[in-house]
Chain A
Amino acid sequence: MASAIYRLIYRSVFAIPSEEAEAERELRAILDASRRNNAASGLTGALLHNGPHVVQVLEGPLAAIEAVFDRIAADVRHTAVELLQFAAVAQPSFPAWSMAYIPQGSVEELALLEPMRNPGGPEAIDAALATLSGALRRDD
C-alpha cells in the first residue's frame, strides 16, 4: 500500500511590509529554501502571493508535511496563520512543482479561497486547484 498523500492549505499575512525590494528578496529566500527542502523530502505545492496574503498549498507524505509545517508555523516572517485544508487526497494537484510560485496579481486569490470558505466540499477545492495548476501549465 503506497503511503497516502496529504494536502495542507493555509493562508497567512506576509510580514515584510515596508520596502518592495526587501519583501521581494525575502520572498525569494523563502522560495529557495522551500524548493530545496521540499524536493529533498518529497513535497510539492504552490505559493500564491496576493496583497498582504500568502496562500500555500503543500502536498506529500504526512510526516513530511508535519515536519515542514513545524518550521513554517515557527516562522515569524508571516502572521495570522489560518488553516484552510488538511486532509488525505487521492491526487496531488502540483506534482511537477516542489514549490510553484504564483506572483502578485496573476491569479485572483478569491478563486482559490472562495470554495474553501463556502461549503462547497473537497470537490470544490480540488476543482479550484485544478484550474490553478492548469493555468500554471499554460504559463510554462
Chain B
Amino acid sequence: MLKVYACITEQHDIVLVAVAAVLCAIGAHTTFAQLHLAGQGNLQHRLRWGAVAAVTTGVAIWATHFVAMLAFDPGVPSGYDPAGTVLSLLLPILLSGAAFAIALCGPGVPRALGAGALLGLGVGAMHYTGMAAFEVAGLKLWDHGTVVVSVVLGVALTMAALRLGLAAQGPGGRLGAAALLALGICALHFIGMGAVTILPDAGGVAPAGAVTRDRLAALVGFAAFCLLAASLAAAVLTSQSRRRRKAEAERFRALVDAAVEGLLICDGETIVESNSSAQALLGQDAQGLVGRSLAAVVQAGELRQALLDPAGTTIETEIDDAQGRPVAVELVSRSILHHRRPHQVIALRDLRDRRRAEERIRFLAHHDPLTRLPNRAGFADRLQRLREVPGRAAEPFALLALDLDRFKVVNDTLGHAMGDALLVKVAHRLRAAVRSTDLVARLGGDEFAVVQFAPGQPEAATALAERLIDLLSRPFLIDGQVLNIGTSVGIALQPQDGVDLAELARSADLALYRAKSEGRGTYRFFETEMDTRMQRRRLLELELRTALAMRQFHLLYQPQVDVDSTSIVGFEALIRWTHPVRGVVSPADFIPLAEETGLIIPIGEWVLREACREAAGWPGAPFLSVNLSPVQFRSPGLVEAVRSACALAGFDPRRLELEVTESVLLSDSTGTIETLRALKEFGVRIAMDDFGTGYSSLSYLRSFPFDKIKIDRSFVCDVTEDGETAAIVRAIIGLGRSLGMRTTVEGVETQAQFDHLRAEGCDQVQGYLLGRPLAPEAAAALLKDGQPQAAAA
C-alpha cells in the first residue's frame, strides 16, 4: 500500500489525477443512468441502450486510464503502441457489453454479481493491455502480488457497484453505485500502477513507432470527455422525454378511462388499446383485450369490415357481455393517428339504458296504467305480433268484445275512485278466465276485448263467453260495499267474420250491440244479417237528413171524438215520410233512428210549426195533439220552439196538446218537470201518451198534473172479451177521474169497443171507427160537414 501511495504522490501529477478521477466518476454515473434507462423498455430498446452503456463504460475506463497515464511520470521517454492501445479500448467495451447483456436479460442477484465480475475483468483487461501497449525506454518490472490485489479489489468493487446499481430504485442508489464503480476503476488503475516499476534503459531513446505520449493523451482525454458528456446528456434528455411521455400517456389514459363510452383502438383487426368502460362492458381486463382480434367482440364479419373502414361508420347491433348475454350497443368508428400510424378507434355505446327507457315508453303507450292491460294500441300491436309467430298466422281465433253493464251507474253514483277500483278487479277476473296464450285488453272506459286462440269454434268461444259473463256477474266487494255489475259479450270469429282486426272488431261490436239490446248479461255471435241491417241503418240516417231538406215529410190528422156527444173535439198530428223510392215509410221505422241520432229535434220542430200552421184556421177551433219525443226534452230549446211555432202560425196555445210518454219522466225528472211546467204556464195542455205500456207507475201520474191520460191501443183489442183488461182500463179511467185528468182511448175499431168504453166512463176515443188519419184539407172539410159517420150510428 505504501508503494501505491508513494507511486501516486511521487510519480503522478496530482491535478491530472483529479481530472482522471472526475472523468471516471462522470463515466460511472453515465453508465448507471443509461443502464437504468435501458431497463425500462422492450427488447429492442434494451439492446440499444445496453450497447450505448457498454461503449460509454468502455470509453470511460479507457479515458480514465489515459488521463491518469498523463499524470504519470515514468521518468524515462515513453509512447504508445497503436495496436495495443486500440485493443485496450475494445476489450473493456466488449466485456462491459457482455456484462450488461447478462444484467439486462433479467433480474436477480447472481446475474448482477456475474455481470459485475465481467465488468471488473473488463477494467482489469483494459488496464493491463493498456500497460502492455505503454512503451518506455526501459524495463517494466511487475510485482505480481500487487497485480492480483488490484484485479481482485477492482472486480469486487465493480461487483458491488452493479449489485447496488441494478437493484437501485432511485437516483441515490445509482449515485452510490456510480461511486463504487468509479472507485473500482481508480483502485484497479492506481494499485496496478503501484505494481509496476520502471527501470530506465541506459540507451534512453523513445521506442520506435510509438506515438508521442503527451499529445495523444491530451487528445484522447479531451475527446473521451466530450463523448462522455454527450452520452450523459443524451441519457438525461432521453429519460426526461420518456418521463414526459409517460406523464402524457397517463393523462391520456385517465381521459380515455373517464369516457363513459367504451373505446377500442384497433390496428387492423387487432385491438391495441381499450379503456376501462370497454373492459367493464365486455367483462375483460386490459390484458384480456389487447392483442385480441376485433372478431372476439364483433362476430359478424361484414360489421367488422364496415367498422374498420377508414371512412368510419355507426352501427347498432348486439354484442355479448362477460356472461355471454347480448348487450345492445351502438358502435361508432373513426380513423385516427396513433403512434403516427393510422388506427381505427371504435366507440361502444351501451344502449341498454336507452332501450330500457324506450321499453318503458312503449309500455306506457301500449298499456292502460290502471289495469295494466294492453290498451287499444297495445292490443292491436300484441295481436299483430302473436299472429307473426310462425304457424300462428293461419290459426283461427275468436274476438270477444265486452261492455260492462251498469258500470256507468257505479261510476256516476259512487265516484270515479270506486269505478277505478272496480275496473282493476274486473281486469283481474278477466285474466283469470283466459288461458295464458289468450289476450285481454282494455279498449277504453268499460270496454274490454279478449282474443281466444282455440280450435273448435264456436263452442270454445261460447264456453269462454259464458265463463266471462259468470265471472263478472259475481258480486264485487269494495270498501265494505257490494257492487253488482255484469257484462254483455259480442263474438266475431276469424276468418269468417273478418280477416283483419278492424273488420273483426266491427263485427264483434255489432254482435255486442245486439247482445246489449237483447237484454244484457248475455252474448251474441256476429251474423251477416246484423251487418246488412247496420248498413241499412246508416243509409236510412243519411236519407233522413235529406228528407227534411227535400220536404219529404207531411202530416196527417186523426180525429179524436167526445164519447158523449160523438162530435170531433180534436185531431192528433201524425208524421208521414214519403220516400222517393220506397214510398211511404212508417214512423215506427224511422222515429227510433231519428231519436238515436238526434235528428228528432229538427224533425219535431218542423212538425210543431207545420201542424200549427195547417190547423190554425180550422173551423170550430178543435184542439191539436202533437207528440214529443223524450229526446226533445233533453234539448234546451223545446219551450222556445213551441212558443215560436204558435206565434208564427197565430195559433192559440190553449188549443195545443203535447203528448209525452212515461219515458220522458224516466230520465232526469226535475229538468223534465220544469220544462213541462214552463209549457203549461204558456197555456199548452199536456197528455200522458201510451199509458199502460211502459212502467205504468202511478208515481209518474202523480209527479205532474197531466191534463189527459191516453190509454194505449193494446188494451182496446180485448177490452170487450178479457175481464182482466177491462178491469185495468176501468181502473185507469177511475184513477184519471180521481186525479182530475180526462182519459182518451186509442185504437178503437169496433162499435162494441166504443160502447164498452162509453159505459166505463171514458172521455174521448180515437181510432179507425171514428176516422182514419186525414190530409189537412180533408180534416178541415170534415169539420165543416159535421160528425163522423160510424159513431153517429
Which A positions have Cβ atoms within 8 angstroms of B? 6, 8, 10, 62, 65-66, 69-70, 73-76, 79-81, 83, 86
Docked pose: A65 CA to B429 CA in angstroms: 17
B480 touches A62 (CB 8 A): yes
Q: Could you say which residues of chain B place their CB within 8 Å of the CB of A65? A: 477
Give min CB distance, B555 to chain A, whole Å.
53
CB nearest neighbor in B for A87: B480
- Select B477's contact among A69, A74, A76, A80, beta carbons within 8 Å: A69
B102 CB within 8 Å of chain A: no
Chain B 523-559, CB-CB to A under 8 Å as 1, else 0, gives: 0000000000000000000000000000000000000
25 contacts between A and B (CB under 8 A): A8-B477, A10-B475, A65-B477, A66-B477, A66-B478, A66-B479, A69-B477, A70-B425, A70-B428, A73-B471, A73-B475, A73-B476, A74-B429, A74-B431, A74-B432, A74-B433, A75-B432, A76-B432, A76-B433, A80-B470, A81-B475, A83-B475, A83-B482, A86-B475, A86-B482
Asked if A81 meets B477 with Cβ closer than 8 Å, knowing A76-B432, A86-B482, the reply is no
Q: In the bound complex, how far is the Cα of B431 from the Cα of A74, in angstroms?
A: 9
Asked if residues B480 and A76 are in contact (CB atoms below 8 Å), the reply is: no
With beta carbons under 8 angstroms apart, the residue of A6, A74, A83 that contacts B480 is: A6
A6 to B481, CA, bound (A): 12
Q: How far is the CA of A6 from the CA of B479 in the complex (A)?
A: 12
Tell me, rounded to whole Å, the shortest Cβ–Cβ distance linking A78 to chain B: 9
B251 CB-CB contact with A under 8 Å: no
Residue B784, interface by CB 8 Å: no
Chain B contacts to A: CB under 8 angstroms? 425, 428-429, 431-433, 467, 470-471, 474-480, 482
Beyond A73-B471, A74-B471, A83-B482, 5 additional contacts (C-beta under 8 Å) are A6-B480, A66-B478, A70-B477, A76-B471, A81-B474
A85 CB to closest chain B CB (Å) equals: 10
Distance, CA A25 to CA B480, complexed state (A): 33
Q: Which residues of A contact B431 (CB under 8 A)?
A: 74
Q: Shortest CB–CB separation between residue B430 and chain A, in angstroms?
A: 9
A10: nearest chain-B partner, CB-CB: B475
Residues of A within 8 A of B476 (CB): 73
Taking CB atoms, residues of chain A closer than 8 Å to B478 are: 66
Residues of B within 8 A of A74 (CB): 428-429, 431-433, 471
Q: How far is the CB of B258 from chain A (nearest CB, A)?
A: 52
Closest to A80 in B: B470
* Residues on the B chain within 8 Å of A80, using CB: 470
Report chain A residues within 8 Å CB of B480.
6, 62
Nearest opposing residue in chain A for B476, CB measure: A73
Closest CB in chain B relative to A116 CB, distance in Å: 15
Q: Return chain B residues, CB-CB under 8 Å to A62.
A: 480
Q: List residues of chain B with CB within 8 A of the CB of A10.
A: 475
Docked Cα-Cα span, A81 to B432, in Å, equals 15
For B432, B470, B474, B482, the residue with the greatest tally of chain A CB atoms inside 10 Å of its CB is: B474
Tell me the minimal C-beta distance from B479 to chain A in angstroms.
8
Q: How far is the CB of A53 from chain B (nearest CB, A)?
A: 15
Whether the Cβ atoms of A76 and B482 lie closer than 8 Å is no
Closest partner residue, chain A, to B482 (CB atom)? A86
A86 partner residues in chain B, CB cutoff 8 A: 475, 477, 482
For A69, the closest partner residue in chain B by CB is: B477
Bound-complex Cα distance A8 to B433 (A): 23
Please give, as numbers and ranges, the residues of chain B lying within 8 Å of A76 by CB-CB distance: 432-433, 467, 471
Q: Is the CB of B433 within 8 A of A73?
A: no
CB distance from B434 to the nearest CB of A (A): 10
Q: Identify which of A6, A69, A73 gathers the most chain B CB atoms within 10 Å of its CB.
A: A73
Q: Which 6 A-B pairs have the closest CB atoms?
A: A74-B432, A81-B474, A73-B474, A66-B477, A74-B429, A83-B475
Residues of B within 8 A of A75 (CB): 432
- Measured CB to CB, the nearest residue on chain A to B470 is A79
- Within the complex, the shortest CB–CB distance from B433 to chain A, in Å, comes to 6
| Residue in chain A with minimal CB distance to B467 | A76
**Cα A104 to Cα B479 with chains together (Å):** 34
- Contact between chains at A73 and B429 (CB < 8 Å): yes
* Complexed CA–CA distance, A66 and B475 (Å): 11
Chain B's nearest CB lies how many Å from the CB of A33? Answer: 15
What's the Cα separation between A10 and B484 when bound, in Å? 14
Minimal Cβ-Cβ distance residue in B for A83: B475
Write the nearest CB–CB distance from B762 to chain A, whole angstroms: 42
Expressed in whole angstroms, the minimum distance between the Cβ of A96 and any Cβ of chain B is 25
Closest approach, in angstroms, between the C-beta of B522 and any C-beta of chain A?
A: 15
Chain A residue numbers with a CB within 8 Å of B471 are 73-74, 76
Rounded to whole angstroms, the CA-CA distance of A83 and B471 in the bound complex is 13
Question: Chain B residues with Cβ under 8 A from A81's Cβ?
Answer: 474-475
Q: How far is the CB of B608 from chain A (nearest CB, A)?
A: 51
CA–CA, A89 and B498, complex, Å: 55
User: Across the two chains, which residue of chain B brings its CB closest to A66?
Assistant: B477
How far apart sit A75 and B431, CA to CA, in the bound complex (Å)?
Answer: 11
Cα-based distance from A75 to B471 in the complex (angstroms):
8
> Which chain A residues border B470 with CB–CB below 8 Å?
79-80
Closest Cβ of chain B to A57, distance in Å, is 15
In the assembled complex, the CB of A43 is this many whole angstroms from the nearest CB of chain B, namely: 14
Docked Cα-Cα span, A76 to B474, in Å, equals 11
B98 to chain A, nearest CB (A): 86
- Report the minimum CB–CB distance from A91 to chain B (whole Å): 19
Which B residues are in CB contact (< 8 Å) with A73? 429, 471, 474-476
CA distance A75 to B428 in the complex (A): 11
For B467, list chain A residues within 8 Å (CB): 76
Q: From A65, which residue of chain B is reached at the shortest CB distance?
A: B477
Q: List residues of chain B with CB within 8 A of the CB of A79.
A: 470
- How close is A14's CB to chain B, nearest CB, in angstroms? 13
Nearest A-chain residue to B484, judged by Cβ? A83
User: Which residues of the partner chain A approach B474 to less than 8 Å between Cβ atoms?
Assistant: 73, 81
A76 vs B290: C-alpha distance when bound (angstroms):
62
Instruction: Report the bound CA distance from A86 to B478 in whole Å.
Output: 12
Residues of B within 8 A of A66 (CB): 477-479
Which chain A residue lies CB-closest to B431?
A74
Shortest Cβ distance from A68 into B: residue: B477
Closest to B425 in A: A70
Per the bound structure, the CA–CA distance linking A66 and B428 in Å amounts to 14
Please measure, in the bound complex, the distance between the C-alpha atom of A74 and the C-alpha atom of B475, giving whole angstroms.
11
Chain A proximity of B481: nearest CB distance (Å): 9
A10 to B482, CA, bound (A): 12
Residue among B425, B476, B480 facing the most chain A CB atoms (10 A cut-off): B480
CA distance A43 to B425 in the complex (A): 21
- Report how far A62 CA is from B481 CA in the complex, Å: 10
Q: How far is the CB of A80 from chain B (nearest CB, A)?
A: 7
A21-B600 Cα distance, complex, nearest whole Å: 64
Q: How far is the CA of A80 from the CA of B471 in the complex (A)?
A: 8
For the complex formed, measure the closest distance between the CB of B546 and the CB atoms of chain A, giving whole angstroms: 51
